[in-house]
Amino acid sequence: MISVDVIIKADYDEVCREAARIILEEWSRKPDLVLGLATGSTSLGVYGRLIEAYQDKAIDYSRVRTFNLDEYLGLDETHPHSYAHFMDQNLFARININRANVHRLQGKPRDIEAHCADYEAQIKQAGGIDVQLLGIGRNGHIGFNEPGSSLTSRTRAMTLTRETVADNARFVSPGESVPRFVLTMGIGTIMEARLVLLLAYGSNKSDAILRAVEGPVTASMPGSALQLHPRTTIIADEDAARLLSRKEYYRWAYENRDQMTEFLE
C-alpha cells in the first residue's frame, strides 16, 4: 500500500509536537528503534520535545540507534558548523543514548566512496531505519539530494546548489564561507525507511510542499519521490500547506484516522 498522509497544524510548535508524538509512539512498540535524524532549524523543535520526553521519563534512549542524514565535507565532527556537533548539542548530550549506537557520516573520510558504502552497510546491519525524520528545502531537496538527483540514489557526495548555499548562510558566522560539498543519504536510502516523517513550516516552503505532495513524481522535485513511499507522513503548518488544493480532505482524513485504525487491526 502506498500512502502519503498530510497533517496540517496551526504552527511550528504544533508540527513539532505531532512529530515527537509519532516518534514516541513508534518507540513504545520498539524500544531499540532505529532513527534517521535530520539537522537544520526544522528539526530543532522536535528534538526539544524528545528531550522533554526523556526528562519526564516517557522514553528511554539506551537501546535507540541513530543515523545522521548528512554532513558537510571538510569539517571535523567538533567543528561548530558540523552536523555531528549540531546533533550533540541539540539532542545527544541531553539524553541517555549509548554513544556506540550513534552513527554519522564523517566530514573528512579517507575514502569517500568506501565510507558511503560502509554507511549503507551499517544501516542494513542495524535492520534498516524505522523512522526517518526529514525537512524539505525551498527547491524540494530532502537530505541534501538536490534537484536532478536520481530517485534511486544511495549515500554519496553532492555539490549543493547556489540556492541551498545561500539558504545555509544564516547558520555560519559572518565572514565564514558556507560549505558547498556534503555527504548525504540518497533518495533510495531514504525510501527504504519504514516510516518517513517530513516536516515543513513557513510560507517559503509552500511551493515545495505543493509540488512534493500534489505534483508529478520527478527528479527535479526530490521530495515528490515520497509519493511512492509505502508509509510517509507530511506534517506542515498552515503557512507551508497554504497552496495545497486538497487541504480540507487532508484535515478530514486526519480527523477520522482513529476510525480507520479500527478496520486495520
Packing angle of the helix pair 12-29, 41-55 (nearest 10 deg) = 50
> Is 5 a known active-site residue?
no
Q: How confident is the model at residue 264 (pLDDT cuts 50, 70, 90)?
A: low
Per-residue model confidence (pLDDT) at position 42:
92
146 is catalytic: yes
Active site (annotated) includes residue 139: yes
Here the cell at position 107 is: 566530514
**pLDDT 10s digits, 213-249:** 999 999 999 999 999 999 999 999 999 999 999 999 9
Q: Which of 68, 71, 130, 141 is catalytic?
A: 141
pLDDT tens-digit readout, 75-127: 999 999 999 999 999 999 999 999 999 999 999 999 999 999 999 999 999 99
pLDDT tens, position by position, 16-63: 999 999 999 999 999 999 999 999 889 999 999 999 999 999 999 999
Name all contacts of 9-12 with Cβ < 8 Å and 24+ positions apart: 9/235, 9/236, 9/237, 9/238, 10/237, 10/238, 11/201, 11/237, 11/238, 12/45, 12/201, 12/202, 12/237
Give the C-alpha distances (Å, rounded to integers) separating 206 from 35, 73, 153, 185. 26, 29, 25, 24
1 pLDDT higher than 50: no
Catalytic-role residue among 139, 167, 192, 239: 139
pLDDT confidence bin for 177, thresholds 50/70/90: confident
Tell whether the model's pLDDT for residue 168 goes beyond 90.
Answer: no
pLDDT for the residue 265: 60
Considering 18, 71, 146, 239, which one is annotated as catalytic?
Answer: 146
Reply yes or no on whether 145 is catalytic.
no
Domains and CATH numbers, the chain: 4-264 (3.40.50.1360)
Which pLDDT belongs to residue 261? 66
**18, 68, 70, 130: the active-site residue:** 70
| H/E run at residue 7 | strand 4-9
Residue with the bigger pLDDT between 257 and 138: it is: 138
